[in-house]
Amino acid sequence: MEKLDALRQTLPDHSKDLKLNIQSVLSQSKLEAPRLWGCALASAVATGDDELVAATLADAEAAGVAAESLEDARAAASLMAMNNVYYRFRHFMGGSYDDLPARLRMNRIARPASNKVDFELFSLVVSAINGCEMCVQSHEKVVIEGGVTREQVHDAVRIGAVVAGLATGLRQR
């Protein structure tokens, strides 16, 4: 976690909790490395903070995470940027648009580079960051059915929350 450690040291004093939390959520997780770092990278991409993305990517690569998992994390963040807006709109409208097809390409969800459950977990975390209730529920159902435990889902969302907070703290420097 060398690059993220260096980055977290640049946080202002008012972000001390984030300094501690990023270290804690990444070192005490029940997630295996590909899922842990995939969630962290997808979250960093979702925040739009290039410095945070670069540090997270470097640490994920240093941890030996396969390129396919990291590519899926980036793809999940990009795809959820679209889906979360669209499905949040449909949810806001109380079903009055549910009869219309989305007609948005989402092939990557069905054919990820790594595996479907991990891609869905990355999508869940980004959907939580983006505040899309429908997407969070949909992805959570798939990952639970795919064998991810509640504790692992919880850890994944905690990672997303802290990475999102970290991005905000970094903008305060």
Catalytic-residue membership of 132: yes
Helical spans, DSSP H, in the chain: 2-8, 16-27, 33-47, 50-62, 67-92, 107-110, 116-130, 133-145, 150-171
Question: Is-contact 143 96, C-beta < 8 A?
Answer: no
Residue of 4, 53, 125, 135 with catalytic role: 135
Write the CB contacts of 115 (distance below 8 Å, at least 6 apart in sequence).
none
Write the CB contacts of 25 (distance below 8 Å, at least 6 apart in sequence).
155, 158, 159, 162
Residue of 73, 76, 124, 132 with catalytic role: 132
The amino acid that residue 41 corresponds to is L
Catalytic-residue membership of 39: no
Q: Which residues are catalytic?
A: 132, 135
